[in-house]
Amino acid sequence: MVRFLLLFCSVLAALFAIEMLKPVQEAVIQPFTGLLASISTAIIVPFDDAVIAQGRVLRDATSGFAVSIEAGCNGVEAAIVLIAGVVAFPATLKNKLVAIVAGFFFVQALNIVRIISLFYLGQWNYTVFEWFHLYLWPVLIMLDVLIVFAVYLRWLGKAQPAEEAPC
């Protein structure tokens, strides 16, 4: 437990520091955030063709309402928590990689739901938008991370030992 916590905190701090580096922001985080806006737009457009993505901004051409996906809104912090947990827990490299890729996908899938919901909540009622944006969605994303990690632990426990056994 202590080993897990120490390793978890170390990996968390290291990944956070790396994420904050300017070259990483420019080469990875900002393009990724733009990609999230594009994916969100691609999902919305078949139902609402007034929506356009401009970089990290999702805009409704009719009402003019827009949401900008900023640091802290791109799900990267939540993914870093998950990665730190997976890395700190003893498992084979293959299992860790599977967990990181699948976990990242699940966190970002919920994050896209969050972005789309906020886009429409903001057009409906700004107070409700603020509530969801500032208080409820961060909690739901962290619960998602927790669920993914719990599922990972259960999956590790049930994984067939034959998979790892020498031939």
Partner 1 sequence: MRRQFVLTLALMPITFGLWYAAGTLFAGPAVWLCDVILSGAYPGVIDDIGLQGLKLVAITQFGDLDGQLMRAQDAGNQIALQINTRLVSYSIAFYAALLLASNLKDGVYKFCVGLAWLWITMAFGLASIIGKDLLMMVGSPFLQAPGVPPADVLALTYQFNVLLMPTLAPVFIWFWQLRGSPLWEALEADIKRASARA
**Which residues of this protein are in contact with partner 1, per CB under 8 A?**
13, 16-17, 19-20, 71-72, 77, 81, 89-92, 95, 134-136, 138-139, 141-143, 146-147, 150, 153-154, 156-159, 161, 164
State the minimum distance, in angstroms, from the CB of residue 144 to partner 1.
10
Structure tokens at 14: 């290291």
State the minimum distance, in angstroms, from the CB of residue 114 to partner 1.
13
How many helices (H) does the chain have, and how many strands (E)? 7, 3
Q: Cβ closer to partner 1: 69 or 81?
A: 81
Give the C-alpha separation, 51 to 47, whole Å: 10
Q: Catalogue the E-assigned strands of 20-153.
A: 51-54, 57-60, 66-68
Cα→Cα distances 130→36, 60, 74, 124, Å: 20, 18, 17, 12
Q: Cβ closer to partner 1: 93 or 167?
A: 93
Q: Cβ closer to partner 1: 45 or 153?
A: 153
State the minimum distance, in angstroms, from the CB of residue 160 to partner 1.
9
State the minimum distance, in angstroms, from the CB of residue 147 to partner 1.
6
Q: Cβ closer to partner 1: 44 or 81?
A: 81
State the minimum distance, in angstroms, from the CB of residue 21 to partner 1.
9
Residues 60-83: b if buried by 16+ CB within 10 A, e if exposed: beeeebbbebeeebbbbbbbbbbb
Q: Cβ closer to partner 1: 44 or 76?
A: 76
Structure tokens at 57: 């901004």
At a CB cut-off of 8 Å and minimum separation 6, what does 59 contact? 51, 52, 53, 65, 66
